[in-house]
Amino acid sequence: MAKFDGVIFDWAGTTVDYGCFAPVQAFADSFAEFGVIPTMDEVRAPMGMLKREHVRTMLQMERISGLWKQVHGPEFTEEDVEAVYLRSESRIMELLGQFTDIKPYVKETVEELRRRGLKIGSTTGYTDEMMQVVVPAAAKKGYSPDCWFSPDAVGQKGRPFPYMIFRNMEELKLSDVRKVMKVGDTVSDIREGKNAGLYTVGIIEGSSVVGLSQREFEALSPEERAQLCEQARKKYLEAGADCAVNDIRGILELIEV
């Protein structure tokens, strides 16, 4: 008997865009335009949140806050948050088309899930406008969920709020949160899934948590890979994940009782 009726995936870093580079590059470029150069760790720490909250969280970081004051004088204001956010929105639209490749094993894993009778949903930190770029491009390359919802569909109450998940469940006619799995590549994904009451899984390879391109990851020694994967696994579990898997194929072992 099937343990799950549906799986709800994240997008960048989970099913497309190995390493989750489109939003990372957009945030980094946007802060740089305001004279503040963030580290990749600083950019990635809030990944998965609403984009405006992501900017605010970065500006609240001690080092970035200090740099902002050095460059701009006073502490940042909500107007500053909005200015950086708006630039990041336009920048990600410029970049998105370059980052729509499907991650390894996604197409065949989703096909197997459907063969077993599961429905496929999706939540995202992207806006509807961004998804109009990502969704058709991914479909042409072989991945298309049954439905997806962005923060635009839930009054901008994105992750870690659970409402995008509930919209998926409504659309897919899934009645039991205990039989739905959430799969993502950020701490925000994990919190979203747990806040909805779902069994929640972190993807390790190609994730924002690991933060490497496929070429960079494959260039590591086996020992280095193992260490990075273990660090990512620990981060997911500390955030409340029920499980972490190396790549998307790992969820197939969790589907059946």
Domains and CATH numbers, the chain: 6-21+99-255 (3.40.50.1000), 22-97 (1.10.150.240)
Please tell me the pTM assigned to this model. 0.89
201 CB burial (10 A radius; 0-12, 13-18, 19+): buried
Backbone angles phi, psi at 204, to 5 degrees: -95, -60
Q: Catalytic residue among 5, 10, 185, 189, which?
A: 10
Q: Is 182 a catalytic residue?
A: no
Instruction: Quick: pLDDT tens for 31-76.
Output: 999 999 999 999 998 887 888 999 999 999 999 999 999 999 888 9
Please answer whether residues 40 and 154 qualify as being in contact, where contact means their C-beta atoms are separated by less than 8 angstroms: no
Task: Give pLDDT, residue 58.
Answer: 96
Instruction: Quick: pLDDT tens for 128-176.
Output: 999 999 999 999 999 999 999 999 999 999 999 999 999 999 999 999 9
23 Cβ neighbours under 8 A, 6+ residues apart = 12, 47, 51, 92, 125, 126
Tokens linked to 70:
């050095």
Task: Give pLDDT, residue 2.
Answer: 64
Task: Give pLDDT, residue 109.
Answer: 98
Catalogue the E-assigned strands of the chain: 6-9, 119-122, 180-184, 199-203, 243-245
**DSSP-assigned beta bridge partners for residue 200:** 182
Q: Catalytic residue among 51, 103, 182, 235, which?
A: 51
Backbone angles phi, psi at 230, to 5 degrees: -65, -40
Alpha helices by DSSP H, listed for 146-221, are 163-172, 187-195, 214-218
Backbone angles phi, psi at 36, to 5 degrees: -120, 120
Average pLDDT of span 231-245 = 97
Task: Give pLDDT, residue 48.
Answer: 79
Q: Is 17 a catalytic residue?
A: no
Tokens linked to 82:
């909005």
